[in-house]
């Protein structure tokens, strides 16, 4: 059955507004943790100047392919098998790495691999774009995020909302500079780094 995420439907419009502003020119995008495929289909359709490469862990591919199979978009590419820690990353470099609601699902080791390998997979000047909830100075930005974090950790104690400072340290270690930190609805953010 085709997977469906209500949060993707709710957040895709506001994410699109930011992507339109920061990605005005043609670019090759590698999406990490494509999930259902809803974002990929929506953004590839709305931003035809981008080539959108989907990727995820292999168990998500069947669902992604069901979403992609309903479109004829030539700028939307079938998923690469990419567990950021256990699969071989693409040998080519992309203009953009995009990832939504992934860092709080991944274990910290995976987040480290995402930044380390992801930075290598990005062209100089390329953009690293992360959407999701983040903490600041060890603090939740809302009661809702605190409850969400508890819920995540009940399911998987190694998951959880990541702290901006920890991600910023990883980014710096991997040659990435913060360009912008966008406030988004429902206590989410978009963090945008650029590779030096």
Ligand X SMILES: C[S@@+](CC[C@H](N)C(=O)[O-])C[C@H]1O[C@@H](n2cnc3c(N)ncnc32)[C@H](O)[C@@H]1O
Q: What are the residues binding ligand X (CB under 6 A)?
A: 5, 8, 33-36, 39, 56-57, 60, 82-85, 100-102, 105-106, 110
| Residue 16 CB, nearest approach to ligand X (Å) | 13
| Residue 139 CB, nearest approach to ligand X (Å) | 22
- Which residues lie closer than 8 Å to 142 by C-beta, 6 or more apart? 187
Residue 73 or 105 having the CB closest to ligand X: 105
Q: The tokens of 144 are what? A: 């809702």
| Residue 41 CB, nearest approach to ligand X (Å) | 12
| Residue 174 CB, nearest approach to ligand X (Å) | 17
Residue 82 or 129 having the CB closest to ligand X: 82
How deeply is 178 buried, as exposed, middle or buried, from its count of CB atoms within 10 A (0-12, 13-18, 19+)? middle
Sheet of 27-32: strands edge to edge?
76-81, 50-56, 27-32, 94-100, 122-132, 188-195, 176-184
Residue 35 or 126 having the CB closest to ligand X: 35
Q: How far apart are CA 70 and CA 68, in angstroms?
A: 5
Nearest residue to ligand X on Cβ basis: 35
Residue 10 or 177 having the CB closest to ligand X: 10
Residue 107 or 123 having the CB closest to ligand X: 107
| Residue 2 CB, nearest approach to ligand X (Å) | 14
* Three-class DSSP category at 28: strand
Q: How far apart are CA 19 and CA 109, in angstroms?
A: 28
| Residue 169 CB, nearest approach to ligand X (Å) | 20
Residue 28 or 87 having the CB closest to ligand X: 87
E strand map for 12-142: 27-32, 50-56, 76-81, 94-100, 122-132
* Three-class DSSP category at 43: helix
């Amino acid at each position: 059955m085709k997977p469906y995420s209500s949060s993707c439907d709710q957040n895709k419009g506001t994410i699109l507004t930011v992507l339109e502003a920061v990605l005005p020119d043609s670019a090759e995008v590698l999406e990490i943790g494509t999930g259902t495929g809803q974002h990929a289909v929506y953004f590839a359709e709305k931003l035809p100047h981008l080539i959108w490469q989907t990727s995820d862990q292999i168990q998500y591919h069947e669902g992604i392919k069901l979403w992609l199979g309903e479109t004829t978009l030539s700028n939307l590419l079938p998923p690469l098998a990419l567990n950021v820690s256990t699969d071989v990353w693409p040998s080519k470099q992309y203009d953009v790495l995009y990832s939504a609601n992934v860092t709080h699902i991944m274990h910290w080791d995976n987040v480290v691999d995402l930044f380390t390998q992801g930075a290598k997979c990005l062209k100089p000047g390329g953009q690293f774009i992360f959407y999701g909830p983040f903490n600041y100075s060890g603090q939740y930005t809302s009661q809702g995020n605190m409850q969400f974090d508890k819920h995540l950790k009940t399911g998987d104690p190694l998951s959880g909302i990541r702290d901006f400072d920890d991600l910023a340290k990883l980014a710096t270690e991997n040659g990435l500079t913060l360009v912008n930190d966008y406030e988004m609805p429902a206590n989410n953010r978009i963090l945008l780094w650029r590779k030096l």
